[in-house]
C-alpha cells in the first residue's frame, strides 16, 4: 500500500479529505507521517486528532538543505513512497527535490500557470480582482522552479457572482481534495528509491 508523507504549514483542511477517502476505502493509501515547519500549525493538531504520526521540525538555525536533509531522514524512517504538499510554505531545496524526484506532488489553488508563486488567500483575491469566470486547482510534480512542475491534474469551478475570498477558497479546497485523491489513486512510484545523502545521515544518527 502506498505510504504518504504530508508536509504542511497551515490549517491542513485538505488533509481531512485524504483521511476520509482512506477510511472509506476510496483511496488505497496510508498516511505514514505529517510534518510541519510551524509548531502551531493546525495540520499537526488535525493529524493527532486522527491518531496519525505528526511532527514539528524546527528550521531555526538550519540552511534549507540541512533542514530538508533532516526532513528526508524522517520520511525515510517512515518508509514514505510519495510526499504530498498541503499548504507547505517553504521553498524546497534542489537537493531534496533531486533525491525525491517524481515522488513529491503539490496542490496549488489556481489553474496553473495562472497565479503561480501565489499562496492561499492571495491567489483567490487575485482571481476575484481579475474578474475571472472560472478558477480551480492544480496538482503537479514539484521541481526547482516554483509551481512549474509537470501538471498531473486540474479541476475547475465557476466563480460565482458575489463570491468573496472565503467562499471561493472553500469551493476550491473541495476540488483540491478530489484532485489529490485522483492523482494518488493512479500514482505509480518510481523504483527503487535512493536517497544517498539522507541514508548516510540516518546511519550517523
**Hey, which residues does 141 pair with through a beta bridge?**
105
Task: Yes or no: say if 113 and 148 are a contact pair by the CB < 8 Å rule.
Answer: yes
Residue 32 lies in a domain: yes
Contact partners, residue 2, CB within 8 Å, separation at least 6: 28, 29, 30, 81, 82, 184, 187, 189
Alpha-carbon distance of 35 to 56, in angstroms, equals 6
pTM over 0.85: yes
pLDDT tens for the chain, 205 residues long, are 999 999 999 999 999 999 999 999 999 999 999 999 999 999 999 999 999 999 999 999 999 999 999 999 999 999 999 999 999 999 999 999 999 999 999 999 999 999 999 988 999 999 999 999 999 999 999 999 999 999 999 999 999 999 999 999 999 999 999 999 999 999 998 866 665 544 433 333 3
Given 50, 108, 124, 140, the catalytic residue: 108
Residue 190 lies in a domain: yes
Residue 205 lies in a domain: no
The domain containing residue 133 runs over which residues?
Answer: 2-200
108 annotated active-site: yes
Domain containing residue 46: CATH number: 3.40.50.170
Alpha-carbon distance of 200 to 205, in angstroms, equals 9
Amino acid at each position: 500500500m502506498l505510504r504518504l508523507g504530508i508536509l504542511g504549514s497551515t490549517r491542513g483542511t485538505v488533509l481531512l479529505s485524504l483521511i476520509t477517502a482512506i477510511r472509506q476505502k476510496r483511496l488505497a493509501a496510508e498516511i505514514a507521517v505529517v510534518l510541519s515547519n510551524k509548531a502551531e500549525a493546525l495540520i499537526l493538531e488535525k493529524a493527532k486528532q486522527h491518531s496519525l504520526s505528526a511532527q514539528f521540525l524546527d528550521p531555526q538555525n538550519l540552511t534549507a538543505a540541512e533542514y530538508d536533509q533532516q526532513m528526508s531522514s524522517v520520511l525515510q524512517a517512515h518508509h514514505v513512497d510519495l510526499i504530498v504538499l498541503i499548504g507547505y510554505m517553504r521553498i524546497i531545496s534542489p537537493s531534496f527535490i533531486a533525491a525525491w524526484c517524481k515522488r513529491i506532488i503539490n496542490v496549488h489553488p489556481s489553474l496553473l500557470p495562472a497565479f503561480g508563486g501565489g499562496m492561499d488567500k492571495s491567489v483567490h483575491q487575485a482571481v476575484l480582482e481579475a474578474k475571472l469566470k472560472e478558477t480551480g486547482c492544480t496538482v503537479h510534480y514539484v521541481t526547482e522552479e516554483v509551481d512549474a512542475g509537470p501538471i498531473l491534474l486540474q479541476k475547475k469551478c465557476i466563480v460565482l457572482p458575489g463570491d468573496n475570498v472565503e467562499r471561493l477558497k472553500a469551493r476550491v479546497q473541495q476540488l483540491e481534495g478530489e484532485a489529490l485523491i485522483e492523482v494518488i489513486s493512479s500514482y505509480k512510484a518510481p523504483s527503487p528509491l535512493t536517497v544517498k545523502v539522507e541514508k548516510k545521515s540516518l546511519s550517523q544518527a
